[in-house]
Structure formats: C-alpha cells, structure tokens
C-alpha cells in the first residue's frame, strides 16, 4: 500500500473550485469566484492569478468577463485553454501567462472542453445544445453540431480516433472519421466524470458510489466496483513504470488510488486513501516526471562492435596511459623525499632517483615519441 502525505496547501479562492488542470510544472484551478489561480509545483508557491477576458471587434482581449470558470485544459506546457459561464473560451500563453485569444464560443455557458492529442482540434459543449469543433491552429470555429439536450462532458480518446459526449446518464460514442454516433452507453445514474483507460475502455463515475468500466466498441459493462460511500465527483488515470493507476475523488471527502488489473473485467485493488475532510468537487494529478525518470532507468545496453581502425586507436591511447603511469610511479615523491622548493640538495633521510631509473624513463619517452610519429 502507498502512503499519502500532505505536500502543499494554499487557500487562494474565495469560492469553491470548479475546475483544475495540470502541466509538467504548474497546477491551475478555476473557481466560482471567476478567477484562475496558478501554482508552481516545483517551488511549491502560488504563482499568481488570471482573469478571463472579453474581446473587442478585432479579437483583442479587452476587459474582464464575468462567470464561473467551468473548465481548464493544458495542451503541453505552452498553452492553457479555459471556458466560463459567460460563453467565452480563452487561450493563454502558459509561459508569459497572457491571453492570446478570446472566443465567444457558446450562447450559453461553456460546460466542458477537450483538446485533441495532436493539439490541432478542440471540442466544446455548452448550454446552447451544441457540440462545437475548434481549429486551434487558426483559432476559429470548424464545425457546429446541434444536439437534442445540453451536454456536460466531452472527452477525446488517447489516440484521438473517437470521442464521447455525455448527456445526463447517456454517453454517445463518436468516431472521428465519420463524426457520427457509433453507439450509446447507458449508466444507471447521471454521469459526473469519464476517463479513458485505453482507446476502447472507458471508466465512468456518476451520482453513486460505483465506478464502471465500459467497452466503447461492444458498449458492454466489463466490471464495476464500489469506490466510495458517496457519489464520485471526478477521476483521473495515469501510468507509472510499474502500474496503471486510477484516482477517484468523492463528495464523502476521500481521495482514493486504485491499481488497475490488466484484465479490466477484474476490479482494481486499493493502494491508498486519504480523508480531506472537505466536499470535493474536482481532481487533478501532478506527476514529478524528473523523479520518475531517475527511478526508472533504462536497461543496460551492450556496446556496439568496434572496427579494427578504432581498436588500434584505443590500443595507442591505452599504451600511452601505461607509459604515463610508469613515469608517475618512477618520479620521486617530494613530500617523502623532503625536498624544498629552493634547494636541489637532499635533506637528511631523503634518496635521489638512481641513474638506472632515469635511463629507463628516457627510454620510455623515446618509445612514446616513436608511437606518436607512427
């Protein structure tokens, strides 16, 4: 079992949190207080705050918008995208923390957004009963699809070949190549969070204590397990060198980490849990990749074969080292001999290098010069 330890705590918002996103260095949180706060996880400090911005006719950022920050997503370490209740989607430079573009995305609230693994496309859903596709390269709308009800979750698969749109307890599975629904998964209660465990396996949590694993191709439930004593609010999955992990957060205040089995038909085993004594609303996982890299070293690799020419060069270098070593051994140790810096005469108890040894050194130096000429 693992042991959870409190590492960094900061009371930054004046209202409850509604969204969280994580990059390799930063964690950002959105709140009902209409602000986005940035935390530097390397230094464990509050890095500052952002305010979602309105746009003018030239698409330049102007003024402060109003409304809860509903969703936050990083793409790599360079860009952060935010959505808010006023219908705005903002693209932020995650180095300078400046608003690069502000888009009036939906007539109602932006309820959720997801970025394609390539970073070229994004999907958003809102309370205007639309699913919108965004061209992030050009910063414009690419496609608008009207749906019958307000969707509250949209999520790309790991390879970006499919995506899911969640409406209440229904999960519509779309194929990217056809942009049409290939099937619908029905959960028992309203879905609160989904996360892909693989290209075809989807973990689903709702307004209940149970987490279910569904196959997106057959639309069948592979397994289910009781995760909490109250409804599960959010989930996150990631991989370590040893395990595939899923993290769950619940309204009961507990955060739990589960080790997934290779066979998704088998329930995961609990690694650790911690009671935060708070009513949890969202979850993010920051991984210290530098530490992971140190721990998971690559296996030893045999050296490549060496050519004859390279081997002869190496032999010459080795012989040169041997000559230097012999010279060093034959040289007198000034400390042992008791020689002073100004006098060439030996002090009492010292011994000078014999003539025979001096001739040996000269002979070795001649051999070394001959080898260099060759």
Distance CA(104)–CA(102), nearest Å, equals 7
DSSP conformation letters of 64-92: E--S-EEEEEEETTTEEEEEETTSEEEEE
Q: How high is the pLDDT of residue 144? A: 92
pLDDT at 246: 95
Q: Report the C-alpha gap between 324 and 364 in whole angstroms.
A: 9
Comparing 374 with 241, which gets the higher pLDDT? 241
Report the pLDDT averaged over residues 73-100. 90
> Per mean pLDDT, which range of 170-174, 290-294, 309-313, 347-351 is the poorest?
347-351
Q: In this model, does residue 342 exceed pLDDT 80?
A: no
Rounded Cα distance between 164 and 101, Å, is 26
Rounded to 10 deg, the angle between the 355-373 and 308-330 helix axes is 160
Beta bridge partners of 201: 215
Q: Return mean pLDDT, the chain.
A: 80
pLDDT at 55: 44
DSSP tag of 303: P
pLDDT band at 116 (very low <50, low <70, confident <90, very high): very high
Q: Which helix (H) or strand (E) holds 359?
A: helix 355-373
pLDDT per position as a tens digit, 293-325: 333 333 333 334 444 455 555 554 444 554 454
How many whole angstroms separate alpha carbon 180 and alpha carbon 282? 30
Residue 56 reports pLDDT greater than 60: no
State the pLDDT at residue 184: 96
What's the confidence (pLDDT) of residue 303?
37
Domains of the chain, by residue range, sit at 202-289
Band (pLDDT 50/70/90 cuts) for residue 213 is very high
Rg (CA), the chain: 32
pLDDT at residue 346 is higher than 70: no
pLDDT > 90 fraction of the chain, expressed in percent and rounded: 49
Predicted confidence band at 364 (pLDDT cuts at 50, 70, 90)? Answer: confident
The β-bridge relationship of strands 35-40 and 45-51 is antiparallel
Element (H, E) at 320: helix 308-330
Report the alpha-carbon distance of residue 116 to residue 69 in Å, rounded: 21
Residues 171, 188: contact at Cβ < 8 Å? no
> pLDDT value at position 243?
87
What does the pLDDT read at residue 366?
72
β-bridge mates for residue 132, sequence order: 124, 144
Cα distance between residue 221 and residue 106, in whole Å: 33
Per-residue pLDDT at 167: 96
- If we measure between CA atoms, which residue out of 197, 199, 150 comes closest to residue 176? 199
* pLDDT of 248 strictly over 90: yes
State residue 363's pLDDT score. 75
Residue 44 and residue 7 in contact, taking contact as beta carbons nearer than 8 Å: yes
Confidence of residue 131 (pLDDT cuts 50, 70, 90): very high
The residue with tokens 């270098």 is 317
pLDDT at 328: 47
Answer left, alpha or beta for residue 349, where phi above 0 means left and psi between -120 and 50 means alpha: left
The first and second tokens of residue 223, run together, are: 């397994």
Q: Which of 154, 101, 92, 103 is nearest to 126 (CA)?
A: 154
Q: pTM of the entire structure? A: 0.72
User: Per-residue pLDDT averaged across 350-373, rounded?
Assistant: 60
pLDDT category of residue 112 using cuts at 50, 70 and 90:
very high
**Which of 217-226, 300-309, 337-346: highest mean pLDDT?**
217-226
């Amino acid at each position: 079992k693992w042991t959870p330890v409190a590492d960094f705590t900061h009371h930054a918002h004046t209202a409850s949190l509604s969204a969280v996103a994580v990059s390799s260095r930063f964690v950002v949180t959105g709140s009902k207080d209409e602000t986005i706060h940035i935390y530097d996880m390397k230094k464990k400090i509050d890095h500052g705050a952002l305010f979602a911005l309105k746009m003018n006719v030239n698409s330049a950022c102007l003024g402060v918008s109003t409304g809860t920050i509903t969703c936050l997503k990083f793409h790599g370490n360079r860009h952060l995208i935010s959505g808010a209740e006023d219908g705005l989607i903002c693209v932020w430079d995650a180095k300078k923390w400046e608003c690069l573009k502000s888009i009036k995305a939906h007539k109602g609230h932006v309820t959720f957004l997801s970025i394609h693994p390539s970073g070229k496309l994004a999907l958003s859903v809102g309370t205007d009963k639309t699913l919108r596709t965004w061209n992030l390269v050009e910063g414009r709308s690419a496609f608008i699809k009207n749906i019958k009800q307000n969707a509250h979750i949209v999520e790309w698969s790991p390879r970006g070949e499919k995506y899911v749109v969640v409406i209440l307890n229904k999960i519509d599975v779309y194929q990217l190549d056809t942009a049409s629904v290939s099937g619908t998964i029905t959960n028992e209660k309203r879905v609160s969070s989904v996360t892909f465990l693989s290209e075809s396996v989807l973990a689903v949590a709702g307004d209940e204590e149970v987490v279910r694993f569904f196959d997106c191709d057959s639309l069948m439930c592979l397994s289910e397990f009781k995760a909490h004593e109250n409804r599960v609010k959010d989930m996150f999955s990631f991989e370590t060198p040893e395990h595939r992990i899923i993290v769950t957060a619940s309204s009961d205040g507990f955060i739990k980490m589960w080790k997934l089995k290779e066979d998704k038909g088998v329930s995961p085993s609990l690694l650790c849990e911690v009671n935060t004594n708070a009513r949890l609303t969202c979850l993010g996982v920051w991984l210290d990749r530098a530490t992971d890299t140190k721990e998971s070293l690559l296996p030893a690799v045999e050296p490549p074969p060496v050519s004859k020419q390279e081997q002869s060069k190496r032999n010459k270098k080795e012989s040169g080292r041997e000559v230097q070593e012999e010279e060093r051994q034959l040289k007198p140790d000034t400390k042992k001999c008791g020689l002073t810096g100004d006098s060439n005469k030996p002090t009492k108890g010292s011994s000078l290098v014999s003539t025979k040894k001096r001739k040996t050194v000269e002979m070795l130096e001649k051999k070394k010069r001959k080898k260099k000429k060759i």
